Amino acid sequence: MLTVNTKHLGFILLAVSLVSMPVAAAGQVPGRIPTVGVLSAGVASAPSTAVYREAFEGGLKELGWIAGQNIRVEYRYAEGERKRLEELAREFVRLGVDVIVARATSSIVAAKRVTATTPIVMSASGDDPVRAGLIASLARPGGNVTGLTLLNPDLRLKQLELLKETIPRLSRVVVLSGTVVPSERERQSLETAAAGLGLQIKQVSVKQADDLEKVFADLARTRIDGLLVRSDPHLLEANIQRIVALALTHRLPAVYWLRAYPQAGGLMSYGADLVQIHRRSAFYVDRLLRGARPSDLPVEQPSKFALVVNVRSARAIGLTIPPSILARADEVIE
């Protein structure tokens, strides 16, 4: 018969619990639950918001952090209004959060403006963080910012190639931007990529959501062959359903960067897997809470990109998706 010395049982259970608990970061008050603030430029009610939240908290859980138990996670959404971001970032500073996770470049910039000491994790930065002055280099960020970037110089070229392969007669493409306009360097890169494919590029931007209908009507009248929609969390991604509906109404074949577009009825998307990006950002939070310095954590770039094709939408605008595209697609929506 097995006997247990109850005198030592409490010590054993305490030792086991201490081993299984996440290690507190240097400087944290013992027994205090750390707090993470998630700052997003997007819309709280968007379908993708719940998916990204689940991915992030799932990543934390895998590392031993359970929201509401041994870690507190606060979410703030700017609802597409850029001017609200600094106000929300300051709120996090007043709350004394241990780490700020900032989604989209504008959120990262806002957080960086209000604090030089609170660690900031970039989650899905669409711009070059070095050129934006957020970090010193990918390998050695310096300062209080680290995390993940969506930066990939070949992404736009690949999107144009996919559109050209889908529509062999493609010759004129409009690149649609919102309030986040492309840099001169990106413009030149796009024009070079387009020229290599025998395409003519026209850059068009939308300043407010009320202009979307007019912009799409104008595009249809110019008889363009295709549309490339850039990343923009403040306007375009706050109006995904509207943009997809307008593209279908005017029979404009479009390639997007975000999976949410073809899931809402858009033709196709090619870009980094944001679900995995947000899950991976939990790794940085874990390292920072365990005492790592953001200046020493290298910034990661995406290594995997997903192609999503909506066959039903293709049929609606009179297109047949080539077998070569379908064979490479990570997801096909019938």
> Would you say residue 54 has pLDDT above 70?
yes
Lowest mean pLDDT among 21-25, 139-143, 285-289, 319-323: 21-25
70 pLDDT band (50/70/90 cuts)?
very high
Q: State the average pLDDT for the chain.
A: 88
Task: Give mean pLDDT, residues 15-34.
Answer: 53
* C-alpha torsion 159→162→164→167, nearest 10: -130
79-123 pLDDT, tens digit each: 988 899 999 999 999 999 999 999 988 999 999 999 999 999 999
168-177 pLDDT, tens digit each: 999 999 999 9
pLDDT of residue 127: 76
210 pLDDT band (50/70/90 cuts)?
very high
Task: Give mean pLDDT, residues 236-253.
Answer: 95
| Cα atoms found within 13 Å of the Cα of residue 37, Cβ hemisphere only | 23
pLDDT of residue 28: 53
pTM greater than 0.85 (yes/no) = no
184 vs 274: which has the higher pLDDT: 274
Task: Give mean pLDDT, residues 298-327.
Answer: 95
> Would you say residue 14 has pLDDT above 80?
no
CB atoms within 10 A of CB 200: 14
pLDDT of residue 132: 83
**Residue 321 gets which letter from DSSP?**
-
Task: Give mean pLDDT, residues 263-284.
Answer: 95
SS3 246: helix
What are the DSSP calls for 155-194, one per residue?
A: HHHHHHHHHHHH-TT--EEEEEE-SSPPPHHHHHHHHHHH
Beta strand 99-103 pairing with 120-125: parallel
pLDDT of residue 48: 84
Tokens of 289: 């809470």
- In order of their start, the domains of the chain are 31-151+274-303 (3.40.50.2300), 155-273+306-333 (3.40.50.2300)
Percentage above 70 pLDDT, the chain = 90
